[in-house]
Each structure stands twice: as structure tokens, then as C-alpha cells.
Amino acid sequence: RGQYPHRAVRLLRARLAAPRPDPAMLSTGDLEVAVGPAVPYSYSSRPRALSARPREKEPVRYANLMYEPRVVRGNTYALQFISVSTQPRPLEIQRQKEARRRALSRKHAEEQMRQRTPEPVEGREHVCVQTELYLEEISDRIIEVDMECQTDAFLDRPPTPLFIPAKTGKDVATQIEEGELFDFDIEVKPIVEVLIGKTVEQALLEVMEEEELAQLWARQRAYAELRNAELAEVQRLEEQDRRYREEKERRHRQHMQMLQKQKETT
């Protein structure tokens, strides 16, 4: 009872639309209908075996979220879902057109339903009037009035006072006897004389040292020139002695060769 309500309603409508048979020929088959003014609608069908229903799955009890398949892996804020094609689909375009058409029709219907001012009767016309609480005069040119205002003269900024830090210490005093202070102009004179004398003496020593160094350099140059001349003379004498010795040896060899030839000829 009540397993297929929509099918039963369709069957009932088909039976009501069909010509009624004789009540004697009506058999108690798959469908029994009781129609009357005070009897409500009832429906009954033959008992049949129910279809196999899957057993309810027991809830899975996960112990670790790392193995939970419903938990999203990775960062979720970087996921970007990009459509396959950038061109709008025809169904989407048609749906947008339908929505736009419905909005226009709704707006047109609202304008039609809005109450308007009735048309004026013959011989009269509508005029715009002010309905505010306080009326305002409307004119093409606004009335202008010149007013004057005198301001006070600008005073110069007073000079910034010098910053004087607050006194934080304590005043103390000391006693100075006569003779403890000295006269600078008088007592500094011997110190200045010593400094000047020492400076002049040092300057003279430096000048004398420079003169002595100049003389030493001059003597060194003269000695070097003399030494170079003597070395040149010694080299010349050695070269002359070498030539004499070679000449002597050559003459001796010639004399020996001559004697050898004489012996051979004799």
C-alpha cells in the first residue's frame, strides 16, 4: 500500500476517463476503487517482494587525519580552477538572455502598475508646484549683495627665546689666597724664550746638517769621477800590456818558424 502513489493516480485517472463497465462485470483484480460522495479515496495492490536494499555502511572510524581521504592535501589558497574554454557556452548565453528578458518584463510590469497622475480635464493643464513645508522663491537670477570684512593685521612672530636648561647642580665656593693665581703675560715670558731659543737652535742645526750633507755629496761625486778615471787608465794600461805580450809571443813564434825553415833548408 502506498509504494507507487504516482502510478496509482495515473491509473485512477485512466479508469475514470474510460467508459464505466457494468458493475456485475467488475472483478477484483489488481486495482479496487470505491467512489462515493462520502467515501475517501483508497488504494490497494497485491503484495509483492521488496527489492534488495543495500545494507547501511557502518561509519568508518579513522584514527589519524593523515589517512583521512576527505581532508584536502596541499595548500588550498593556490588552487585555481580555469575553465577549459574561454568562450561562453550556448546554454549559458541563452540562460543570460532569458534572465535579461525576464528582468525587462518585470521592470515594464512594475512601471505599468505604478500609479500615475491622471490626465488633466479639458481646458486645464498640470503645473509643477512646491510641496515643501517652507516655500522658496525661484528666480532666474540670484540676488547678490557685496559685503566687506576687515581682519586684524598679522603680528610678527616673536623671537624664540634661548634655551636655558634647568639648574640641577649645587653651587659651591672655593677660597683663593694671594699669590696662588699668576700673571700670564709676565710668567709666560721665560717659557716662550726657551721655546723660541730651542726652535732657532734646532733650525740652525738642520741648516748646518744640510750644508754638511751637500759637501759630502760633492766630495763623493769628485771621488767617484777620479776613481772612474783611474779605472779607465788601469784598463787602458792592461790592454796595452796584453797587446805587447801578444805581439811578443807572435814574434817569438815567427822566429821559431824561421829557424825551423832554415834547419830544413840546410
| Per-residue three-class SS string for 106-167 | HHHHHHHHCCCCCCCCCCCCCCCCCCCCCCCCCCCCCCCCCCCCCCCCCCCCCCCCCCCCCC
Residue 221 placed within a domain: yes
Phi-psi region of 2 (alpha: psi -120 to 50; beta: other; left: phi over 0): left
Residue 186 placed within a domain: no
pLDDT for 219 equals: 95
Residue 12 placed within a domain: yes
> For the segment 1-56, what is each residue's pLDDT rounded down to a tens digit?
444 445 555 666 666 665 555 444 444 444 444 444 455 677 777 887 777 666 66
Instruction: Give the whole-angstrom CA distance, residue 48 versus residue 45.
Output: 9
Q: Grid coordinates representing 60?
A: 568508518
pLDDT for 59 equals: 63
Q: Give the residue numbers spanning the domain of 36.
A: 1-46
pLDDT for 118 equals: 79
Q: Grid coordinates representing 5?
A: 502513489
Residue 245 placed within a domain: yes
The whole-model pTM stands at: 0.26
Would the pLDDT of 79 be above 80? Answer: no
> For the segment 159-182, what is each residue's pLDDT rounded down to a tens digit?
999 999 888 888 888 888 887 888
Residue 145 placed within a domain: no
Instruction: Give the whole-angstrom CA distance, residue 47 versus residue 30.
Output: 10
Mean pLDDT for 83-99 is: 76
Please give the tally of structural domains in the chain: 2
Burial 14-47 (b: 16+ CB within 10 A, else e): eeeeeeeeeeeeeeeeeeeeeeeeeeeeebeeee
Residue 123 placed within a domain: no
Candidates 50, 52, 30, 32; CA nearest to 42 is: 32
> For the segment 180-226, what is each residue's pLDDT rounded down to a tens digit?
888 888 889 999 999 999 999 999 999 999 999 999 999 999 999 99
Give the three-class secondary structure for 89: coil
Residue 74 placed within a domain: no
Residue 172 placed within a domain: no
